[in-house]
Structure 1
Amino acid sequence: MLDSARLTHLLPTKMRSQVDSYFEALSVFTQIRDPRVLRSLGPSGIRGMLLHRGRQNEPTKIPCNYMAHFDWNYPADQPAMAELYRRAKQGQWDSDEMPWHTDVDPFNYEVPLLPDNFLDPQSLADELGTKFTNKELAELRFSVVCWLLSQFLHGEQGALFAACQVTEAVQFFDGKMYGATQVMDEGRHVEVFNRYLDQKLGRLYRINDNLFVIIDSLMTDSRWDMKFLGMQIMVEGLALGAFGVIYKVTREPLLRAILERVIQDEARHVHYGVLALREHITTQLTERERQEREDWAFEVAILMRNRFMVYEVYEEWFEGLMSREHWRRFITNAPGMKMFRQVMFSRLVPNLRAIGLLSERIMPYYEKVGLMQYFDGVAADNLTSDQMLRELDGAVAF
């Protein structure tokens, strides 16, 4: 990252924080090695990280340009996808079946939304030279969980729109049939997260800039396989891990019930992405095209890692009191956020390997950022949602 601290140390703390955010955005894109990836992500980066289009409190209009693929012969030549379609039909659920009557008190210490040690409040207090009251700590955890669930909601809206596009653009008919069920799934996920935030927590944060960049890039890319890669493998794969972390650590029964159902849906979605892309990437693309997608996946992985810096909570609570750099260090080392990264990338990296986007050429870059430790994990096509939930129920949180 560019050393913004040396260049801005004379500025007031709040102004220094704002300038640092621009340096951070610039650093992300100056480190992109493949000019094709920069051309793909650059315009979205400007709209999201510099212009903050997602945070302007008004609807965003994103131009879309892609080809819809019709097949008037209706071939049934993808048996694995047909099986996913069958399972998806059987796995549909009604959001009204959730126990919405549950009384959710975000400040109830006996039924915490997040455990006390999800963050490391003592290190934060030491950084600020202060001491938090129990009430302040509860309010901070409340802000963090609202931020996390807000990003889940925004990601699900992106997934809803992307699923619509992919269903139109995908070139195999069994995939279109399955895609129709995913559109329904994503709509239901938008409904339940929005309902929970609105009716139970009463707070909604704006979309994080990094997430906006990814969604904007997917919406504007005309290539069906890039939409597939971005949403089914990257966003859905990482979301599956993020949902799993909250499912693991929360003691709030309604949220846990919602996440259990959502995880079951998302496991199918990522499985679909692996099935659809594995043959396409390994047999239909030139090596140059494959390398572009490999580089793109790496850069998006970095953006997704940076998505969980929770800067919006920093701006609400601590901007002007501590530097953005110090907050970044704190949130990176917080136990809950470490668990986020571990679980998210343990889901993502094996799927990239399975579809042919983790060649020896790109491995050193994953190694450099500490992600190669997940290389030997189980890919989505060999992991059921029931197995995933059993793992989460049996794992130690921190």
Structure 2
Amino acid sequence: MADDRKHPGGARFVWEYAKTDERLRALYERGKAAQWNATTDIDWAAGVGTPGHVGLLGPDLPLGRDASPVPPERRAAFQWEFHSWMTSQFLHGEQGALLATGRLVVMAPDLDTKFYAAAQVADEARHVEAYARYVELLGNGYPVNPSLKRMLDTVVTESRWDIVLLGMQIIVEGLALAAFRLEHTRSFDPVIAMLTRLVAKDEARHVAFGLLALREIYSELTSREKAEREEFVKEAALLMSRRFLLEEIWRRLDVDVRDGAEYALRDPKMIDFRRLMFTKIVTSLAKVGLLTPGVRAHLEQLQLLRTVPRR
């Protein structure tokens, strides 16, 4: 793999302008055709849910009923805070994706990858715009989760373009895609339902972009390069699973944070929830050849592995 240190500031000019990957170019064309407008394509007046909409909160995901630190009379409050926390983290993650894909335009070694990354920058700007507006409507935002912040800091400062792509398109976007789809199925207000439906379509293309861009080059990694990327995946999985200990929510609900985090770590329903969130990541890692025995063992240790997908 080419040494990115040979390119000042990580920037790569490409002086050959012919198509190099028909699949990436086709994905770029689909992305252009699928652009939507956050201002006009979402009915912002349709109504945003409130804590009083107890009957519309849907199932108690991800809260189990046995030994829960949240008493029955506060389950609606938990669901409201969980929804507010999730959508706030969507917003923060989308800003990370905006910065990371902007870097990919600069760092990518071929024109088709630059083209698609540029189109994705527009997607991510639109996502930040839309989620910022939604969180403002909720009136109940959360700061960025520390584990997510650390992950985003790592991705946007990484000097190797393929690890920027791996961290954002496979890990962060894969997790977001699963979360968006879950949020859409259990949405209790029409605004977030419309928003997540539109964003999920974009994210599916983004994950596909990561798979197309990485699958072939990762088949040519040296053993040292592959080991470095395996370690990156392990650290990313640890950080992304930690965010679902929900420490900020327990604090907001005046639940002892250590008790709440321990419950989130051990409760079977919470474990199933995290496994569901990581399903797309695990499948994508298998497709790019990074679901190695070491990575698989690490995911099993973190209780993130549901089934082992076929390559």
TM-score (norm 2): 0.90
Asked if 1:311 corresponds to 2:247, the answer is yes
Corresponding position of 2:21: 78
Among candidates 199, 212, 217, match of residue 149 of structure 2: 212
Write the distance in 2 (CA, Å) between the matches of 1:371 and 1:230. 17
Among candidates 80, 92, 103, match of residue 142 of structure 1: 80
Corresponding position of 1:352: 285
Write the distance in 2 (CA, Å) between the matches of 1:176 and 1:193. 26
Write the distance in 1 (CA, Å) between the matches of 2:293 and 2:75. 45
Q: What letter corresponds to residue 177 of structure 2 in structure 1? A: L
Write the distance in 2 (CA, Å) between the matches of 1:240 and 1:66. 31
Write the distance in 2 (CA, Å) between the matches of 1:228 and 1:360. 22
Among candidates 5, 20, 31, match of residue 88 of structure 1: 31
Write the distance in 1 (CA, Å) between the matches of 2:53 and 2:300. 42
- State the Cα deviation string for residues 54-79 of structure 1 (Å, max 9, x = none): xxxxxxxxxxx941111122131111
Q: Which runs of 4+ in 1 moved over 6 A?
A: none
Is the CA contact 1:117–1:335 (under 8 Å) kept in the aligned structure 2? no
Corresponding position of 1:194: 132
Q: CA deviation at 1:336?
A: 6.6
Question: Structure 2 matches for 1:148-167, cutoff 5 A?
Answer: 148-167=86-105
Corresponding position of 2:261: 328
**1:123 counterpart SS class:** coil
Q: CA deviation at 1:370?
A: 3.4
- State the Cα deviation string for residues 256-277 of structure 1 (Å, max 9, x = none): 1111111100000011001111
Corresponding position of 1:115: 59
Question: Structure 2 matches for 1:1-398, cutoff 5 A?
Answer: 66-95=9-38, 96-106=40-50, 107-112=52-57, 114-116=58-60, 118-120=62-64, 123-124=67-68, 127=69, 131-133=71-73, 136-199=74-137, 201-283=138-220, 285-318=221-254, 322=256, 324=258, 326-332=259-265, 337-376=270-309
Write the distance in 1 (CA, Å) between the matches of 2:234 and 2:263. 24
Q: CA deviation at 1:361?
A: 4.3
Write the distance in 1 (CA, Å) between the matches of 2:84 and 2:229. 33
**2:278 counterpart SS class:** helix
CA RMSD across the alignment: 2.2
Stretches of structure 1 that go unaligned for 5 or more consecutive residues are 1-64, 380-398
Write the distance in 2 (CA, Å) between the matches of 1:142 and 1:333. 22
- State the Cα deviation string for residues 353-375 of structure 1 (Å, max 9, x = none): 11111223443333333344332
Q: CA deviation at 1:244?
A: 1.4
Q: What letter corresponds to residue 238 of structure 2 in structure 1? A: I
Is the CA contact 2:179–2:277 (under 8 Å) kept in the aligned structure 1? yes
Write the distance in 2 (CA, Å) between the matches of 1:165 and 1:292. 21
Q: Which of the pair has more CA radius of gyration?
A: 1
CA pair 296-225 structure 1, distance change in 2 beyond 3 A: same
TM-score (norm 1): 0.71
CA pair 323-362 structure 1, distance change in 2 beyond 3 A: closer
- State the Cα deviation string for residues 284-325 of structure 1 (Å, max 9, x = none): x32101111012112211210111111111222235xx351x
Q: CA deviation at 1:156?
A: 0.4
- State the Cα deviation string for residues 73-120 of structure 1 (Å, max 9, x = none): 2131111100100110111111121111112232223433x5346423
**2:90 counterpart SS class:** helix
Write the distance in 1 (CA, Å) between the matches of 2:61 and 2:241. 21
Write the distance in 2 (CA, Å) between the matches of 1:205 and 1:109. 21
